[in-house]
Homo-oligomer: A and B are copies of this chain.
């Protein structure tokens, strides 16, 4: 592969990372090309379709999330509190959200990542989160009437655009997952 082609591909992925993070799948190909400093045609040389390009970004982000989640799980195995690790993970998700969101939502669709491609990043991320949820519940730090699917669904509904709003959302939801008092009403 020619050296300029490699460089362009990197710039395209880089630009896509940024713009997809901001605009989601509403990015426009010409804007993307402009940001990457290439012509639209070059986009199509490297990625046959818009979906493929976004898919690549999502895949990359999914991989990062999987690593992050498995790392958190390792911490738990080393004795850290499962709940606090989950909270940290939530924060990570809140940050690089627009890409991660796809993970969470597609993961939910893929029957919790168990079905097709059980070795895929999404499946691994979901598996790690599942283990932590179970541990947190066992430790009494998380409501037991909420399961992994619920958690993924809630995360998948976080606001996309506004960062502050999303942080607040995550905080509220996270708090809502803590165990509740016996019951009163």
A178 at the binding interface (Cβ < 8 Å):
yes
> Is there contact, CB below 8 Å, between B184 and A181?
no
Given A157-B159, A181-B181; A150-B176 close (CB under 8 Å): no
| A154: chain B residues within 8 A (beta carbon) | 169, 172
* A135: Cβ under 8 A from any B Cβ: no
Nearest-neighbour CB distance to chain B for A82, whole angstroms, equals 11
Closest beta carbon of chain B to A18's beta carbon, Å: 25
Interface membership of chain A positions 149-185, coded 1 if the CB is closer than 8 angstroms to chain B and 0 otherwise: 0100110011100000100110011011111110011
Hey, which chain B residues are within 8 Å of A165, CB to CB? 153
Q: Say yes or no: A185-B153 contact (C-beta < 8 A), given A172-B146, A175-B176.
A: no
Q: In the complex, what's the smallest C-beta–C-beta distance from A71 to chain B, in angstroms?
A: 20
CB-based closest 9 A-B pairs? A176-B176, A157-B157, A181-B181, A178-B180, A150-B172, A157-B159, A180-B180, A141-B185, A153-B165
Q: Is A83's CB within 8 Å of the partner chain B?
A: yes
| B153–A184 CB distance below 8 A | no
Contact with B along A61-104 (1 / 0, CB 8 A): 00000000000000000000101100000000000000000000
Q: A interface, how many residues as a size bin?
A: 20 to 34
Q: Please give me the residue from chain B that is nearest to A83 by CB atom.
A: B185
The one of B83, B153, B184, B185 that contacts A169, using a Cβ cutoff of 8 Å: B153
Write the chain B residue with the least CB distance to A149: B168
> Which residues of chain B are within 8 angstroms of A83 by Cβ–Cβ distance?
185
Q: Are A179 and B176 in contact (CB under 8 A)?
A: no
A153 to B173, CA, bound (A): 12
A159 partner residues in chain B, CB cutoff 8 A: 153, 157
Contacts of A184 in B (CB 8 A): 140-141
